[in-house]
């Protein structure tokens, strides 16, 4: 009888240890996947500057779009067709992974996106966050 009880306890112990190891492994994989995705996001979305599209440093990165600086502090509703098309051209030539950085760059340069481009850019940023 004692060997049977010991055998059952051993089976239960193996099951519990296996479950604990699987949970740790699953948590470790999730942490690894979210810590450093391809675009370098830290995964701490409550404080991550990539999440908010704001950077703590003031370094402006250009995306071959220096001509857009002329639009600084201009209301998007006041853009001419040519100005709108210039923004759209830059947006359409960006890689998806560059859209969040471009949006940060525009914010730092006080350039507002027209609503149609803004909505599409934000959609790309949201999708990249969930990758």
**pLDDT tens for residues 33-82?**
444 444 455 443 333 444 455 545 568 999 999 999 999 999 999 999 99
31 with 64, same domain?
no
In this prediction, residues 3-31 reach a mean pLDDT of 80
Helix (H, G, I), strand (E, B) or coil at 43: coil
- Domain assignment of residue 21, given as a range: 1-35
Q: Are 75 and 31 found together in one domain?
A: no
3 state SS of 127: helix
Q: Are 90 and 113 in a shared domain?
A: yes
Residues 6 or more apart in contact with residue 20 via CB below 8 angstroms: none
| More confident call, 16 vs 31 | 16
Question: How many structural domains is the chain composed of?
Answer: 2
Q: What is the pLDDT of residue 120?
A: 94
Do 66 and 17 fall within a single domain? no
Predicted TM-score (pTM) of this structure = 0.58
Is residue 108 located within the same domain as residue 59?
A: yes
Residues 107 and 68 placed together within one structural domain of the fold = yes
Residues 95 and 112 in one domain: yes
């Amino acid at each position: 009888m004692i060997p049977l009880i010991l055998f059952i306890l051993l089976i239960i112990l193996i099951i519990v240890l296996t479950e604990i190891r699987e949970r740790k492994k699953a948590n470790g994989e999730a942490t690894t996947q979210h810590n450093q995705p391809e675009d370098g996001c830290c995964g701490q979305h409550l404080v991550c500057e990539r999440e908010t599209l704001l950077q703590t440093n003031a370094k402006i990165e250009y995306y071959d779009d220096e001509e857009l600086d002329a639009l600084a502090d201009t209301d998007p509703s006041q853009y001419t067709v040519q100005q709108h098309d210039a923004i759209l051209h830059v947006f359409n030539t960006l890689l998806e992974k560059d859209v969040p950085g471009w949006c940060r760059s525009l914010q730092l340069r006080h350039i507002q996106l027209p609503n149609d481009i803004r909505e599409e850019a934000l959609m790309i940023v949201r999708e990249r966050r969930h990758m």
